[in-house]
Amino acid sequence: MLRMNLCEKCLGKGYLVVGEKPCPNCNGSGKTESISLGEASDREMKELIDSGSTKCSVCQGTGKIPITESCPDCNGLGREYLCVVCKTKLSSKKELCERCAKKPLVHILDPACDVKDLVIGDIYQGRVNGLASFGAFVDLSESVRGLAHNKYLKSKPDVGETVFVTVRNILANGNIELEPAELKEYNTVEVEKELPVSRTADLHKQVNKQIMIKGEVIQVKQTGGPTIFTIADDSGLAFCAAFERAGVRAYADIDSDMMVRVIGEVSLRNNQVQVEIKSMKRLWGREASAVKDLIEQAIDRRAEPSKTEFLVKSEIMTRLLPAMRQVAKEIRRAVLKSQPIVLRHHADADGITAAVAIEMAILPLITEVGGPDAEYHNYRRAPSKAPFYELEDVTKDLTYALEDQTRHGQKMPLIILMDNGSTEEDVPAMRQAQVYGMDMLVVDHHHPHKIVDQFLIAHVNPAHAGGDFGLTTGMLATEIARMIYPPVESKIRHFPAVSAVGDRSEAPEADLYIKLVEDKYNREDLKKIALALDYEAFWQRFNDGRGIINDILCLGRLDRHQRVVELLCEQANAAIDEQLRASMGNVKSTKLPNGIIMNVLDVENFAHKFTFPPPGKTSGEVHDLLCKKYAGKPVVTIGYGPDFAVLRSRAVKMNIPQMVKELMEEIPNGGVSGGGHLVVGSIKFVGGMRKEVLAKLAEKIAACGVDEPAQGG
């Protein structure tokens, strides 16, 4: 069995072009004026009639022919021939080098080999399977068995003994005659089954046939019976089963991310194609790199997002298009490579619509690539209570990922952060994720900090293109989802409008998205959906609530959507009314020298705790009422507790992230942190420094400029 590699210098031609010389057939003119009419082709006759001459058949009209010399790297062979034993480079088409040829060569059959792979006269290693009165049966592989007749046996071997035998003959009925070989010194070579490489995408046409595939191990899953290897090549995935013993790991040396060669028989199991493995070996060196390169090139082509037009006109999104396409491509790439995906999002209407838009786009692709059960193994959506990626969040994600890696050999997941991930508060969690090699994407509209980009493979934020938080994450994610999987548009077309009213966006895109769906949802309908999402997210806490959330977003039955939204809004509004009755009388309002009406509320002592609406939502509802009370005036509302403050503002030129940074410097023992949007956000601090922090915060608000005239809340 010759081991050959294509010569890299001459690319298999065996010669190199070192120059050119005039073509002797046409004397360098490129044309010939005389041809044999009896042998001329139709094309040559047409050329002769049209121009009076034809293209020279030797130089093809160039007038020159190449000057060549034998390739020095391969001695003109075009291939690099290696000794099958020591892998030494050979100068001729031989199997062994001179040194290795001095010893007999023992062939060891790969488990996938059959009688067709035997060569009469060659020596093979076998194992005695049984004894009979007329001789010994010897297994050369799992499917190849021969007989060493008594007349060739000098002594009876033991069952299970390893022996060397020469193949004397292969009879017409398939029986193999063997003769024991006594060897003291020898070399060994493994005989691999020679089969053309099949593509995983074509395996459904090869049921009950023996095939060979080369690819990357994506996942190893141990069941109560066989071990299931998921193998990817440049056309798709194949599920390959190997059985050692019930519940015992087969091919323990083969793990995820390895390049392998698999030989087996294609079968159908529960209407799904599966390869019953006969042989699997890890690929190394140049062969492994070639397979890897083919896979990466194919995935790169298939991961390219669709070229969709935005649903509405937006200069900001037009400038963000390259970053949005990069996010879409990275998500498609993860799906195509069967890399698990964890979708993290802020637990409010904007974060939920953004995440569900991406979810609806990728689930059909995950099923298409990995089969009907793939989404249960390769996808998880989880809400984050805070508008940033908390240490609690990354700890859970890492725990799940490491368990799946240990149990099922899964890759570390791609983390997608929606409506969070852009701020400095995300960094501690991102650093932990980076230690474990988790790739991260961010689609967010909170004011970004450049420090996060070192942890991300792609980042979409309107502030990068001159925009602000008015362009919601739900808008951005819906457009990205359409790039990932265009057919999803009909299901998620109204998501940007829901996110716009939920986040109270005043961006021009908000009105355009709302008008886009006004034939099905009026503004009041959208507000109800957004409120229902906020209310349900509060009670779901850390669960994704997929079924109920899908009903609220009208992804299921229309009648159930209408009933559940009405019910949840009724309950939410009753809870809000009760909270406002308890809180409004305890709001303290002050007019600052710059004209701002500053309102403060102690939500710890003058609002119901551990129920809906939570402190942030309570502060927002109080702020809305105060904006109506002080119509046309700049308003700031602060809802504070023992160690936090929530800020809402209208017509005030605030920069909350900058304020937080200044407070950290001015009150070093205050334990200040926080952020959010420029004019909407939250601040944390240590309880003992609450008075100092709030006093300094009030000073900074008093120094802010105001917009004239004030806009709506």
**DSSP readout, 392-461?**
HHHHHHHHHHHHHHHHH-PPPPEEEEES---SGGGHHHHHHHHHTT-EEEEE--SPP-GGGGGG-SEEE-
- The CA–CA distances, whole Å, from 25 to 21, 32, 36, 50, 271 equal 12, 8, 15, 21, 63
Q: Is the pLDDT of residue 1 over 80?
A: no
CATH code 2.40.50.140 region(s) in the chain = 103-191, 200-302
Q: Is the pLDDT of residue 56 over 70?
A: yes
Average pLDDT over residues 401-413: 84
Higher confidence at residue 114 or residue 309?
309
Average pLDDT over residues 4-22: 72
Q: Give residue 713's pLDDT band: very low, low, confident or very high (50, 70, 90).
A: very low
Strand, coil or helix: what is 588?
strand
Higher confidence at residue 82 or residue 235?
235
Helix (H) or strand (E) run with residue 471 in it: none
Report the alpha-carbon distance of residue 711 to residue 338 in Å, rounded.
Answer: 49
Instruction: Give this prediction's pTM.
Output: 0.75
Higher confidence at residue 607 or residue 3?
607
> Is the bond preceding 709 in cis, omega lying within 30 degrees of 0?
yes
In this predicted structure, what is the pLDDT of residue 338? 86
CATH code 3.10.310.40 region(s) in the chain = 587-706
- The CA–CA distances, whole Å, from 552 to 479, 493, 548, 590 equal 21, 14, 6, 40
Helix %, strand %, coil % of the chain (to 5): 35, 25, 35
Higher confidence at residue 132 or residue 435?
435
CATH code 3.90.1640.30 region(s) in the chain = 315-522
* 109-123, 176-190, 590-604: which is most confident: 590-604
Q: What is the pLDDT of residues 624-654, one digit of tens each?
A: 999 999 998 999 999 999 999 999 999 999 8
- The CA–CA distances, whole Å, from 226 to 219, 233, 245, 280, 301 equal 14, 22, 7, 14, 34
Residue 168 · residue 179 · CB < 8 Å: yes
Q: Is the pLDDT of residue 12 over 70?
A: no
Upper half-sphere CA count for residue 666 (Cβ side, 13 Å): 14
The pairing of beta strand 635-640 with beta strand 597-602: parallel
The lowest-confidence range among 79-88, 515-524, 549-558 is 79-88
Strand, coil or helix: what is 537?
helix
**DSSP readout, 179-241?**
EE---SS-EEEEEPP--PBPPGGGGGG-TTSEEEEEEEEEEEEE-SSSEEEEEE-SS-EEEEE
In this predicted structure, what is the pLDDT of residue 97? 80
State both tokens at 2.
Answer: 């010759």
CA 363 from chain centre, in angstroms, equals 13
Higher confidence at residue 1 or residue 636?
636
The lowest-confidence range among 82-96, 259-273, 601-615 is 82-96
> Is the bond preceding 111 in cis, omega lying within 30 degrees of 0?
no
The lowest-confidence range among 213-227, 420-434, 659-673 is 213-227
Q: Is the pLDDT of residue 3 over 70?
A: no
CATH of domain 587-706: 3.10.310.40
In this predicted structure, what is the pLDDT of residue 710? 42
In this predicted structure, what is the pLDDT of residue 696? 94
pLDDT mean across residues, the chain: 88
Q: Is the pLDDT of residue 145 over 70?
A: yes
State both tokens at 619.
Answer: 């502060």
CA dihedral for 531, 533, 536, 541, sign (positive or negative): negative
CB atoms within 10 A of CB 527: 17
In this predicted structure, what is the pLDDT of residue 623? 95
State both tokens at 673.
Answer: 């942190």
In this predicted structure, what is the pLDDT of residue 152? 86
Average pLDDT over residues 119-138: 90
Class of domain 200-302: mainly beta
In this predicted structure, what is the pLDDT of residue 596? 93
Torsion angles phi and psi, residue 11, rounded to 5: 55, 35
Closest listed residue to residue 429, CA positions, set 383, 382, 389, 457: 389
Percent of the chain with pLDDT over 70: 92
Q: What is 103-191's CATH superfamily? A: Nucleic acid-binding proteins (2.40.50.140)
In this predicted structure, what is the pLDDT of residue 372? 79
Residue 187 · residue 85 · CB < 8 Å: yes
Q: Is the pLDDT of residue 388 over 70?
A: yes
Average pLDDT over residues 408-437: 92
Higher confidence at residue 405 or residue 550?
550
The pairing of beta strand 176-180 with beta strand 145-149: parallel
Give the right CATH number for 315-522 from 3.90.1640.30, 2.40.50.840, 3.40.50.720, 1.10.3720.10.
Answer: 3.90.1640.30
